[in-house]
Amino acid sequence: MTKLTFAAHPFLLGFDELERLVERTAKSGNDGYPPFNIEQSSENGFRITLAVAGFREADIAITVEDRQLMIRGRQADEVDEGRVFLHRGIAARAFQRSFVLAEGVEVAGAVLENGLLHVDLTRAVPDKIVQTIRITKG
């Protein structure tokens, strides 16, 4: 008996990549740091907001490859000889967050303000084209 996978369903022609995207999303292994919000900012716009207190613009890299948005943060190791922490509760560890983007969704920009990184996304509205297929004799 052959195992029928999600992408092998006869009504889902051309969606072979969907199963791979679902697996990649499940394996992302995000540990909850940094916390983030995803909101719909307009009919075709979204905003991902990450709490990145203590990170500077130079400490954060945002890339998109193969429809995967990757946000990485690594603070520079600054040695302050005169500082002695009695309690250090502000996380300064590196992070990596990934989000799989749907086809047609693009990054419009990113802004870092007040310890929050806002990444704006837009979805291109496809043109609605009705195509008539001509039938020929074999």
- In this predicted model, what pLDDT tens digit does every residue of 80-98 receive, in sequence order? 667 788 988 876 789 999 9
Q: How far is CA 71 from CA 30, 40, 86, in A?
A: 12, 19, 31
Burial of 136 (0-12, 13-18, 19+ CB in 10 A): exposed
pTM score, two decimals? 0.72
Of the candidates 58, 57, 48, the one whose C-alpha atom is nearest the C-alpha of residue 97 is 48
Cα radius of gyration (the chain): 21
Burial 52-78 (b: 16+ CB within 10 A, else e): beebeeebbeeeeeebebebebebeee
Instruction: Determine phi and psi for 6, rounding to 5 degrees.
Output: -55, -45
State pLDDT tens for residues 112-136. 999 999 999 999 888 888 989 899 9
pLDDT averaged over every residue in the chain: 84
> Hey, what domains does the chain have and what are their CATH numbers?
1-30 (no CATH), 31-77+91-125 (2.60.40.790)
Can you give the pLDDT at residue 33? 87
